[in-house]
C-alpha cells in the first residue's frame, strides 16, 4: 500500500508531503495505481518548478519513497499559487483513494514546521 502523509501548518496550508510504499495493485511496471500516484505527485512538483520557478526540496531515499517541502523565502503570492496546486494534487490523490482504497491511503496531520 502507498501511504501519502500530508502535513499542514496551523493556518491550514500544506507544509510538506511524504509518499511511501508500493501499491501492489499489479506487478512492477504494470501497476496503474502506482503510475497514477507518481504522475500526479511528480507532475505537481514539475508544475511548481516550471510555472512558478520554485524548486520543491525533494528527497528520494529509496524506491517507493518521496518527501518534499517548499523552500524558505518564497513570496506570499507565490506561496498562494503553490498552495492551490498542492490542493489540486490532494484532490486527485483522494479520488484515487476512494476508488483504490486497498492500495492508497491519504493521511493529514499537523506539521511541526
- pLDDT recorded at residue 62: 65
- pLDDT recorded at residue 36: 96
First and final CA of the chain: distance in angstroms?
Answer: 27
- pLDDT recorded at residue 112: 75
Does the model's pTM come out above 0.75? Answer: yes
Query: CATH top-level class for 2-110?
Result: alpha beta
Could you list the active site residues? 22, 34
Strands 57-59 and 65-69: antiparallel
- The mean pLDDT value for 31-45 works out to 92
pLDDT band at 70; cut points 50, 70, 90? confident
- pLDDT recorded at residue 55: 86
- The mean pLDDT value for 50-73 works out to 82
Domain limits, the chain: 2-110
Amino acid at each position: 500500500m502507498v501511504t501519502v502523509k500530508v502535513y499542514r501548518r496551523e493556518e491550514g496550508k500544506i507544509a510538506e508531503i511524504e509518499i511511501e510504499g508500493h501499491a501492489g495493485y499489479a506487478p512492477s511496471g504494470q501497476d496503474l495505481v502506482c503510475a497514477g500516484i507518481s504522475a500526479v505527485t511528480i507532475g505537481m512538483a514539475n508544475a511548481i518548478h516550471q510555472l512558478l520557478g520554485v524548486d520543491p526540496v525533494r528527497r528520494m531515499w529509496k524506491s517507493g519513497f518521496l518527501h518534499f517541502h517548499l523552500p524558505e523565502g518564497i513570496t506570499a503570492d507565490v506561496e498562494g499559487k503553490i498552495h492551490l496546486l498542492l490542493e489540486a494534487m490532494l484532490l486527485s490523490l483522494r479520488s484515487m483513494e476512494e476508488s483504490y482504497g486497498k492500495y492508497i491511503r491519504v493521511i493529514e496531520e499537523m506539521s511541526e514546521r
